[in-house]
Structure 1
Amino acid sequence: MTDNQTSPPVTVTLESGPAGAGSIDDFELFYARRALERFRTRLGRQALLDLLAEDIEQGNAFLRESARTSDGNFKAGTTVLATQGLSSGTFLAWMDKAFAGDERALLASHPEHYVMGTDEIGARVVENIGPHVADFYMGGWGTAELAWAEDAEELLPESEYPRKMSSNLFLADGTVVGRALIQFGDTADGFTANLTVYFPVTCPDDVLDHHLRHYAVEFRNWIVATAAARA
């Protein structure tokens, strides 16, 4: 084979063996999730925070500097998910229950969820923002600090998307490093979720894009968990 020729791609196909349906990728995902759940459970919240302390310090510093250089200006991106067979009301009721105290269910929805719960400051989240591990809070629903949501370009008609939640994302020192606007509207056979996140304009575009992927993974898995709980 000459230098200017490329090798054909290597493919592997499962012909027989395991009982039940599923691809090799499905098997790998199952085992990866099981291993991750074991490590999270064995370590516990505080050990995870201790393990990630340096990453969190660097990630929060990145977000703080992005907020400073952006001078209060944000850029937005939206992930849209369509669900069949489940209403938005059923899903949001499950979410309310999970955020009230089922951290395990919240963490299980994404490999890069490390902490989700409430402390004296508010609803705490430790997760990846792009490549950066960040420790931030969500809050401010219905307060003057969220006047931005009333004029957001991404705001959808109340008649079609009556269930809305907006939040600032802020560090423990109060620095606002992002925003979130999530909107749900029922359809004939399910619901549509419009999930918008805002980051400081000086954040690299790939940070925003990765969070749109993050949204897709976590909300899909929360929706699937809701359906499983209902069954």
Structure 2
Amino acid sequence: MPDTQAPPPVTVTLKAGPTGPGSIDDFELFYARRALDRFRTLLGRQGLLDLLATDIEEGNAFLRESARTSEGVFKSGTTVLATKGLTSGAFLAWMDEAFAGDESALLAAHPEHYAMGTDSIGARVVENIGPHVCSFYMGGWGTDALSWAADVDELLPESEFPRKMSSNLFLADGTVVGRALIQFGDTPDGFTANLTVYFPVTCPDEVLDHHLRHYAVEFRNWIVAAAAAHT
């Protein structure tokens, strides 16, 4: 019988050369971020939006159709992050400042952030939802949970997670295509973040799972940026 066992994976280990710390993966991430920042800067906000116009149209059509076929029913997933060395209050204060006008800090948190800011409709976000580039708005965002969030299963005790923020996610034509509920609770050495997203129930599961990964990347990087600003 022929041997059908797959060969072992090829591995490459850095033995010598660079004087600074880090792995090859760390080096690649640094250069990828630097290249991305260069293209964002050269294109500018409107240049990026113009470049992605067709992708956004297709992505929003996907969300609109998902909302139509789901008839107001959503499914959810939650990413949980544990932070040490920073309080939730310090982090949220930094976030408030960033959302008030520091778009570059918001965009830097994820490679698939393309625009974040406020226009005539409200707080606009252009980013990937799964494989789709979408442009949507966050509405009703605030410290008081919206009516839909008052009795959801994901709502955590006020005593442990006193800082709560919720929002509908909607397209420019008003179609609600998702929801977000984020909750923060301090711990003896930092805080815990529970980050819940809701998508129309007919969305593929991989769209939901990818957004849970998206949450992990963007909030980790925002927390690290807040900590750097806090010191």
TM-score bracket relative to the smaller structure:
over 0.9
User: Match for 1:163: what amino acid?
Assistant: R
Inter-partner Cα distance in structure 1 for 2:195 and 2:76? 10
Inter-partner Cα distance in structure 2 for 1:176 and 1:151? 19
Inter-partner Cα distance in structure 2 for 1:206 and 1:172? 25
Q: Give the Å deviation of 1:142.
A: 5.7
1:59 aligns with 2:59: yes
Match of residue 84 from structure 2: 84
Change (3 A) 1:34 1:163: same
Match of residue 10 from structure 1: 10
Aligned-pair identity (%) = 83
Match of residue 169 from structure 2: 169
Q: Give the Å deviation of 1:8.
A: 2.2
Match of residue 119 from structure 2: 119
Which residues of structure 1 form unaligned runs of 5+?
Answer: none
> Which stretch of the first structure deviates more once superposed, 144-153 or 179-188?
144-153
SS of residue paired to 2:195 = strand
Equivalent residue runs for 1:201-220 within 5 Å: 201-220=201-220
Inter-partner Cα distance in structure 2 for 1:124 and 1:6? 48
User: Match for 2:107: what amino acid?
Assistant: L
Inter-partner Cα distance in structure 1 for 2:19 and 2:9? 28
Structure-2-length-normalised TM-score: 0.97
Inter-partner Cα distance in structure 2 for 1:93 and 1:219? 14
Q: Give the Å deviation of 1:37.
A: 0.3
Structure 1: 4+ residue segments shifted above 6 A: none
Structure-1-length-normalised TM-score: 0.97
Inter-partner Cα distance in structure 1 for 2:205 and 2:117? 28
Change (3 A) 1:120 1:145: farther
Q: Give the Å deviation of 1:3.
A: 5.2
Which residues of structure 2 form unaligned runs of 5+?
Answer: none
Q: Give the paired residue count.
A: 230
Change (3 A) 1:142 1:92: closer
Inter-partner Cα distance in structure 1 for 2:44 and 2:66? 31
Deviation string, structure 1 residues 71-98 (Cα, Å, up to 9, x no partner): 0000000000000000000000000000
User: Match for 1:201: what amino acid?
Assistant: V
SS of residue paired to 2:141 = coil
